[in-house]
Amino acid sequence: MGGQRWRLGAAVQRPLPGPGAYTPTTTPLPTTTSPQLDSCSDGGLAAPSWPKSGPVTVVSAAEAPAAAQRFVSTELGITGVTAIGGLKVTTSGCSVPVRTATTVGNVDFAASGTGLYVSSFNLGNSSGLGLMVHGRHVQAVYDSQCTTCVRWDLSVRYGTVVAFATARSSIVSVDLRGDPNVSGGYVYSDWAADGSLRNAHANVIPPGDFAAS
């Protein structure tokens, strides 16, 4: 099965396969009708379920900072996550700046219906990440610039199908127990020898085969 290439962050909804296929547990949320949040619209695409947070939670703009803190803390299993500003709405999207004990970055939100939900985050230097989904095999390759890192984690979820892996190199693979026929979400992170977080990245994955860098 040949992988198709998409730019990371550009989740693409594909038709579900025929009878007997894996049944998604999430459904598309209605498109936003708020002019103030048009630049953050998800375009009517299906929202993912995240590895540890589960199905997305829709919040108001005022609740976004708390939601950002909660999401990062839950997905990375850390405490001390702080929103260092409110929701920023620009022509390119919506985000909340956050800080952990060792990193700073942004949690991005997509608008759907009358609220917002987390669609990705970037903490530290999280550029250079490549992700490939081929059948039930998922592999992340990261050009890590962290010379003190000793652990790399990858967690993936499609509907109720969840997989986690830890590696001693920046190439991390997981094998799913079910077909990725719905939109998914992944979280990738690297950690220093003292147990501190150095970089982390989370994003939506479209259904089926996927490759991006």
- Is the per-residue pLDDT at 137 higher than 70? yes
The DSSP secondary-structure symbol of 37 reads G
Assigned token pair, 169: 């190199």
Sort 35 into a burial class: Cβ within 10 Å, 0-12 / 13-18 / 19+. exposed
What pTM, to 2 d.p., does this model score? 0.81
CB count within 10 Å of CB 177 equals 9
Looking only at the bridges linking them, the beta strands covering 137-142 and 129-134 are: antiparallel
Instruction: Tell me how far apart the alpha carbons of residues 48 and 111 are, in angstroms, rounded to a whole number.
Output: 13
Is the separation of the CB atoms in 4 and 211 below 8 Å?
A: yes
Q: Does domain 129-212 have CATH number 2.60.40.10?
A: yes
One-letter amino acid identity for 187?
A: V
What confidence category does residue 36 fall into, taking pLDDT thresholds of 50, 70 and 90? low
How many CA atoms within 13 Å lie on the side-chain side of 16?
Answer: 14
- Name the 3-class secondary structure at 171: strand
Summarize pLDDT for 43-82 with one digit per residue, the tens. Answer: 666 788 999 999 999 999 999 999 999 999 999 999 999 9
Summarize pLDDT for 84-96 with one digit per residue, the tens. Answer: 999 999 888 999 9
Where do you find CATH 2.60.40.10 in the chain? 129-212
Assigned token pair, 93: 């999207």
Is the separation of the CB atoms in 8 and 212 below 8 Å?
A: yes
